[in-house]
Structure 1
């Protein structure tokens, strides 16, 4: 896992950490299968990826569909450019998806996702 996040990820993390976005808890750099995703909201099963110039959108989409269909995760991808130039728009989109997505575990259930470290990093 990376200790130093690229600037776009750092900016987004500042808005996600500490349940700042609508009270939803996020983890960063979460291991899911054989991948490390940038951010994950366990309550909603939402994966967020911030893509740099080296990403291939078609391949990423295929990999996302194959990797996450068994987990029923939703994946949202944003480019570095989107996060840097339109962070408010990215946050609005995230909040909208979070509000529209059903909770993965009913309120009061005994299911607890794996506990993250003190830096809110975790694995699935």
Structure 2
């Protein structure tokens, strides 16, 4: 399939915009806290959006410019196969994914922000299961000469 034949994953899907709005209104305490640090370009000028529909998914936080997704996971995400499939799909669509546990946002927010910044600045660029960073899959046809 050529790049022109691929669906635009940023196009709105029926129901996804409404779902994203509901998620924004009913955010978790951890999402609220992290959003306070990411909104209005507060993290070194990087622009983030929250609860963004991408394909069939809605991601917690997205820096479009750097194609970085930040996800906050509760205990129900531990070893979750759908989350793994979701990450693989997002990586294949050209997005890097960085995951944090709820308690990391609550207890170690400074370290979380430093890790996000390291990913944005490409100081983290390889898969790291300890940091829970999963880089985008770059296809040769996507590389600009």
Could you tell me which runs of 5 or more consecutive residues in structure 1 were left unpaired when the two chains were aligned. 103-124
- Corresponding position of 2:84: 61
TM-score (norm 1): 0.76
Q: How big is the shift at 1:68?
A: 1.3
Higher share of residues assigned helix: 2
> How big is each residue's C-alpha offset from its partner over 1:13-41, in whole Å with a ceiling of 9 and x where there is no partner?
00000000010000000001111110000
- Corresponding position of 1:114: none
2:74–2:101 Cα contact (<8 Å) kept: yes
Write the mapping of 1:39-118 to structure 2, written as runs, cut at 5 A.
39-59=61-81, 60-65=83-88, 67-100=89-122
Greater relative CO (CA pairs within 8 A, separation 6+): 1
Aligned residues: 101
TM-score (norm 2): 0.65
- Shift of the 54–17 alpha-carbon distance from structure 1 to 2, 3 Å rule, reads same
- Corresponding position of 1:20: 42
Q: List 4+ stretches of structure 1 deviating above 2 A.
A: none
Cα RMSD between the aligned structures? 1.6
Rg larger in structure: 2
Q: How big is the shift at 1:56?
A: 3.5
